[in-house]
Chain A
Amino acid sequence: MSTMPSTAALRQGAVPAPRQPRRIPRPALGNFRRFLSPLALVALWQAGSMLGLIPARTLAAPAAILASAWDLTASGALPYNLLVSLQRVLLGLGLGISVGGGLAIIAGLSKRGEDLVDAPMQMLRTLPFLALVPLFILWFGIGELPKIGLVAFGSAFPIYITLFAGIRGADPKLVEAGRISGLDRRGTIRHVILPAALPSALVGLRYALGTAWLSLVVAEQINATAGIGYLINDARDFLRTDIIIVGLLVYALLGLVADALVRWIERRALAWRPALVRS
C-alpha cells in the first residue's frame, strides 16, 4: 500500500490530460514477435521435461499441466473450488468496500468524522495485515470467517484512503456552484462530492482487488477444505506440481479478469473525463 499514488495526482483536473498520441498501426508481425520469446521458453521447458532434465516432481511439463487442467475442469473439481474461492473474494470485497467506503464518507464529509475515524484507520493501515492471520484464527476459527475477514480487512484500506482523498479533493468552487444552484447538503454530496471522488475511488478499487487476491492466497493456506488454495495445498502433499501450476494460473487469470473489470467500470463511469472524451 506504500505505492499509493499521491492525492494531488488523483485530483481530477489537477493535471491537464495529455493529448492522446496518434496510434501508429503496428505491423502484425511485430505483435506476433512479442509472443515469440514466451513461446520459446515454454517449448524449451517442454523439451527439458521430455528429455528428463526437469523432473516432474520439481516442475511438471506444460503438456501435463494442460492435461490436468482439462481433467480438473471435466471432473468438476476446478469449477467447484474456483466458485468457493470466488465466493470468499466477493464476500470479503463486498464487506471491505462497504466498511472502507462508509468510513471514508464519514471521515471525508465532516471534521468530527475525520477526528473520530482517521487516526485509528491510519494506525491500523501501518499494520501488515497478513500478520493478523494467527489472531484471526483465534478469533474466527478455521472456517470461512477468517478467510473472508482477511480479504475484507485487506481491501478496506485502499478504498478508505482513496475515497477519503477524493472527497477532500472535491473542488470547493464546484461545491459552491452546486449550492448556489439550490443543492442542499444531500444533493451536494450526491451530485458534486461523490462524483468528484469517483476517479480516485476507482483507483482504490483496483488496489483493493489486488490486495483481495493476495489475501485470498494467504487465507487459503490455512486449513482450507475447498478453494483454489486447498487444491494447491492438497496437490503439494502428493507432489503434483502440474496441479499446483494450474492453481497458480487460475489465480493469475482471476487477477487479470478483475483488472479488466475495473477498467471496464472506469470507461463507463468516467466517460466524462477529458482524456476519455477525446479518444
Chain B
Amino acid sequence: MTPAKTPPAKTLVLMVLLVILSSAGNLFFSVGMKHIGPLQGWSMDVLQSAFAAVFASTWIWLGIISMLLFLAAFMLILSWADFSYVLPATAFMYAVIPLLAHFVLGEKVTGRHWIGIVLISVGVMFVGQTPSNTTKKD
C-alpha cells in the first residue's frame, strides 16, 4: 500500500480553490435569488420575467463564473488525484456555507448544523491523511 505523505502543493491549492469557489458560487446564487424574490406563479409571462431577472443579476453571474471556475479546477485536479480523495474535500463546502450564511447573511446555525460541520471537518481530515494518488504507476 502507498504510504501516506503530504499531498503536493498544487493539490492543496486546488482543493482550497474548490471549496472557496463552490461555497462562493452557492452564496452568490443564494443572494441573487433572495434579491429576485420567489416566483409569482408559473405562467409564461412570469417565467420570462423571472429568467430576465436572473440573467440581469450581477450576483447570479458571479455565481455562474464561480461554478465554471469550480468545474475547471475539479477537472484539473482529477487529472492526477484520486476521485475518492477529491470528492469528500468538495463536501467541505457544506461546512463552510452555514458558517458564511451565519456570518455574512445573519442566518441561524442550529446544534445539528454544528455537529454536521464537525463530522465533515473530521471526515475531510481523515481523508487528507491518506495518499492523494493511489493509482500512479511511476
**Do A and B form a real pair?**
no
Q: Which residues of B contact A (CB under 8 A)?
A: none
